[in-house]
A and B are shown apart, each in its own frame.
Chain A
């Protein structure tokens, strides 16, 4: 019986030592120095989500995620902090309400209700959000992203002079050091002098095509638009002229690298892939009875053919009224009830500011390709990391599986894009951060660890 006792104690021995796995090694900076990190960009860099800027959005911006990962790097080249973002006080949305999911009702068919984005109903303006003061003694700010900013705006003096100056930006007004007169280039110069960054990321250029796209292509899409007479200011509905983009991007970049900082340049996504443009199908006119088709055929004549099933909408373009063709895009902002209440797309043409036609889509793609080739050229020339976010976000269109979740570019349900169909969720921004980290590690031989994306929030369902 003594042997049984021995076996018993052996069992206890096995049970008491619990297994553990630790295969990580201390992250290293490689040839990079993350100790002072500056983020330059637009709404995507500011943490804009669900159609507005909120403090929780800012705290989950991809620069915040990057800073956290850079902080894991040991030694003098790891990020030390603090990482200061111009945080809002309110989580309601600034300067207007964020979207939340809620029930929406079709005014013509009250029984037809569904879950969709609505403006946050309890929104109030918090006066203390209008301006921002850094808690740091020397006014340090590490994320100087401004939602809405274009490369084309970088030489516009008084860009933060809101609301006095009509082309000013309320987000720039919150924290620009010299908001009354400074251009974004001046602000960048000031921040670089103030922070003396050792590392930066720059994600600029999306708004140089997005404004044209979200306006339904009503502006100048040629890439050779002219400024308002007597100014250096371009209509936000137009695509920024290619040469203007290149020269201002180059100027901004030269300021960013003036301290000898390393960094990463992030290119412009193909915005025609994002839910804002892909959610409403161009052939979303569903006819269930032959009578409906006959009525529309009689209404529009032989040039447009309607049948039972899916039909392409009737749209307006620069040359008049016609039926949409495959590949054309209807904007998410098209008032949904107008399809049923006013006959938009069937008896009445969808106005052109809600439609991207084939030509307009080509303008967007051509400009995106031109800007991205310049960004890549600059990255190569200045020996910086180049992040092909265009390629990565395109893979989300077909679906990216991560730790058991399949993320897609589906509106609301896809998990990566927020309720505005343009900006990302917290998880989407974490995925972006992982792409930036991968490019930085490849370029600088660093081993910054990637982020557990699913730790953060996706879409919030009521």
Chain B
């Protein structure tokens, strides 16, 4: 009979995972500096990401490399006086592009992009006292896209392009388990690698030298994770209830449709406007399935129900001289996370993004770009109903980036 007594399951709602807004819009520094705009104007080889249709507009083959330094920090507080703050960390998403028309005046262009497309990282300070520890102690997720791309210039007006995306990424999550001894909680650690495929399409229109238009569509990429390792640190008497095992899960990186308009009212000034429609609603739930299940260790199924978002972006570039240009921009990036689903693994909020940057061309074929993006006012009072956890979050992210490109 006693066996039966303990057969009751240790149902805990913990082990949620990926947060919201894990998409990164850091695939080109010039675009970053202009509020994230870039579908209309093929500035450089990063158009492989922003609009593959623009690749055939480049003057020749270009190699492009950049790195960003994201320093996100989240603070938490609730009405009962519990607080928390995430540990200071620096993440370094990167971009590498090479491509362009195969020879001068060729209508065909080929390219390859390797870039960080998505990622979050959050590690709450003082795990043992962090009141959200049964939901998340730390999380780290990233996805890198490898995108071979082909582009064709139909005529002076229309240029089209397409890229195939192979995505590879990793996933790491720890949270506390409510089975402990004295002051020590148990801990679950999930770790694995994921991959997926998708595509990136673009049409670039150039009615005149002063007006360009971009239409792009990037497909959803389902990051499938199987054979991840699940490791449990629990009291000895529960070791058979929490066997170390493998798990599988799936994370959708959402589809995005973008329309972009670029105008050049005067010779030295370019203005860009982009509108992104992001299909977050495909992220309706998170499921983690364990290969070995016990009465205590059950598959997890957490509702997400994210909402599609519409993000307007605005940016400008002013060419001061043949050597130096400066950029600035702003965007309003609404959160896909509805109230009731704001979880502490990434408590997303509406973002106001301000950015700026500069390009310097010390040599005729060589350009250095630096950019900076800051997000402001991201304070959100939200609840995560599934885990009955609520509070106010303030997120702060500062992202400087630096890169170079070379025209062959």
Query: Is chain B found bound to chain A in the same assembly?
Result: yes
A contact set with B: CB distance below 8 Å: 1, 3-4, 7-8, 10-11, 14-15, 17-24, 72, 101, 104, 106, 112, 114-116, 279-280, 284, 336, 339-340, 399-406, 408, 410-415, 449-452, 454-455, 457-462
Complex Cα distance, B133 from A340, in Å, reads 42
Chain B residues whose C-beta falls within 8 Å of the C-beta of A104 in the assembled complex: 2
Given A401-B388, A413-B9, 4 more A-B residue pairs with CB atoms under 8 Å apart are: A18-B396, A280-B5, A454-B178, A457-B182
Complex Cα distance, B134 from A450, in Å, reads 19
Complex Cα distance, B356 from A336, in Å, reads 73
Chain A residues whose C-beta falls within 8 Å of the C-beta of B181 in the assembled complex: 460-462
Chain B residues whose C-beta falls within 8 Å of the C-beta of A400 in the assembled complex: 388
**Cβ of A3 and Cβ of B180 under 8 Å apart?**
no
Which of B11, B75, B180, B387 makes the CB contact (< 8 A) with A19? B75
B contact set with A: CB distance below 8 Å: 1-6, 8-14, 69, 71, 73-83, 85, 88, 129, 131-135, 175, 178-183, 234-238, 296, 324, 326, 356-358, 360, 370-372, 374, 379, 381, 386-389, 391-396, 398, 400
Complex Cα distance, B235 from A460, in Å, reads 9
**Cβ of A15 and Cβ of B398 under 8 Å apart?**
yes
**Cβ of A14 and Cβ of B374 under 8 Å apart?**
yes
Nearest CB of B to A54, in Å: 14
Chain A residues whose C-beta falls within 8 Å of the C-beta of B391 in the assembled complex: 21
Report which residue of A18, A280, A408, A413 has the largest number of chain B beta carbons within 10 angstroms of its beta carbon.
Answer: A413
**Cβ of A114 and Cβ of B6 under 8 Å apart?**
yes
Q: Which residue of A lies closest to B179 (CB)?
A: A461
Chain A residues whose C-beta falls within 8 Å of the C-beta of B80 in the assembled complex: 24, 449-452
**Cβ of B183 and Cβ of A7 under 8 Å apart?**
no
**Cβ of A462 and Cβ of B1 under 8 Å apart?**
no
**Cβ of A460 and Cβ of B4 under 8 Å apart?**
no
Complex Cα distance, B130 from A452, in Å, reads 10
Cβ contacts A to B, 5 pairs, < 8 Å: A18-B73, A23-B77, A114-B3, A114-B6, A280-B5
**Cβ of A116 and Cβ of B396 under 8 Å apart?**
no
**Cβ of B85 and Cβ of A403 under 8 Å apart?**
no
Which 8 A/B pairs are nearest by Cβ-Cβ distance?
A14-B398, A21-B77, A404-B134, A461-B235, A11-B400, A410-B8, A401-B388, A19-B75
Chain B residues whose C-beta falls within 8 Å of the C-beta of A450 in the assembled complex: 80
**Cβ of A20 and Cβ of B8 under 8 Å apart?**
no
Chain B residues whose C-beta falls within 8 Å of the C-beta of A404 in the assembled complex: 12-14, 132-135, 175, 387-389
Complex Cα distance, B310 from A459, in Å, reads 48
**Cβ of A412 and Cβ of B74 under 8 Å apart?**
no
Chain A residues whose C-beta falls within 8 Å of the C-beta of B324 in the assembled complex: 3
Chain B residues whose C-beta falls within 8 Å of the C-beta of A340 in the assembled complex: 1
**Cβ of A24 and Cβ of B387 under 8 Å apart?**
no
Chain B residues whose C-beta falls within 8 Å of the C-beta of A403 in the assembled complex: 131-132, 134-135, 387-389
Chain A residues whose C-beta falls within 8 Å of the C-beta of B79 in the assembled complex: 23-24, 449
A19-B75, A104-B2, A460-B180 as given contacts; A413 in contact with B132, CB under 8 Å: no
Report which residue of A22, A114, A451 has the largest number of chain B beta carbons within 10 angstroms of its beta carbon.
Answer: A114
**Cβ of A336 and Cβ of B1 under 8 Å apart?**
yes
Complex Cα distance, B79 from A72, in Å, reads 13
A336-B1, A452-B80 as given contacts; A413 in contact with B296, CB under 8 Å: yes
Q: Which residue of B lies closest to A330 (CB)?
A: B1
**Cβ of B387 and Cβ of A280 under 8 Å apart?**
no
Complex Cα distance, B149 from A35, in Å, reads 74
Chain B residues whose C-beta falls within 8 Å of the C-beta of A459 in the assembled complex: 179
Complex Cα distance, B88 from A459, in Å, reads 34
A4-B370, A19-B73, A339-B1 as given contacts; A406 in contact with B13, CB under 8 Å: yes
